[in-house]
Amino acid sequence: AATGAGTGTHPGFSRFRMKSPDAPQPRIDGKGAAVLAQWKHEIEGAWHEKKDSSSTEAEANAYCNVDATRFPVRGKAYILDGKKQPSKSAAFTLVCSKCFLSDFKATGAVASVSSLRNFLREHEENEYFIQTWTVPATAPSSTSGSGSSGVGQYTVVNLFQRTLAKGKDPVFDTLYEKFRTGDDEFRKERLKMIPEILQAPWAVKVTILTW
């Protein structure tokens, strides 16, 4: 599973707080087995899916689905020959990505975002993979943009749905089950993020190692 994100001066976000059990619940729009059900949040920000995922032009507040076959991965004999080969198609497909602003570091997206929790409850028949990353932000103290500024946290939640049928790739099934049932330390040692910097100053490109 893969995702790409664009940057902007003021990332689009939805504000959420952990103590808001009475917030209005989102309307879930399930469109059938052939189409990925979409996760809706009660307040949608400017963070959106890029219209043309093949374009390398920067687009503020945007993310896109990435073709996993573009990324080389270690082959079976990598320890001996050091060679990489094209990845197979991704086992998970990106449903959507959402950017939130909070006054705390949201370490657990499902526990913090009621709309995501409700969505997963509505679609228990599907298997999902949720990946989050957080960055500190200086943001207005209210959603209206008024008031004194304070330090908050931007949290990007990437929701993936498994589209590879179980049994089609037994090797992946075995490895993923070990990853899924492993503890935090086990998963941290095995999850690898592969960055690709499309547009950035030369100093940034040489500093950040890519695939």
Check pLDDT > 60 for residue 12.
no
- Predicted TM-score (pTM) of the model is 0.70
In terms of Cα–Cα distance, which of 109, 69, 105 is closest to 87? Answer: 69
The better pLDDT of the pair 50, 142 is held by 50
* Pairwise CA distance, residues 156 & 5, whole Å: 10
pLDDT tens track for 154-211? 888 999 999 999 999 999 999 999 999 999 899 989 888 877 777 778 887 777 765 5
Q: Give Dmax (Cα) for the chain.
A: 60
* Pairwise CA distance, residues 189 & 210, whole Å: 18
DSSP for 80-104 reads HH--EEE----SEEEEEEEEEEESS
pLDDT tens track for 109-132? 888 888 889 999 999 999 999 998
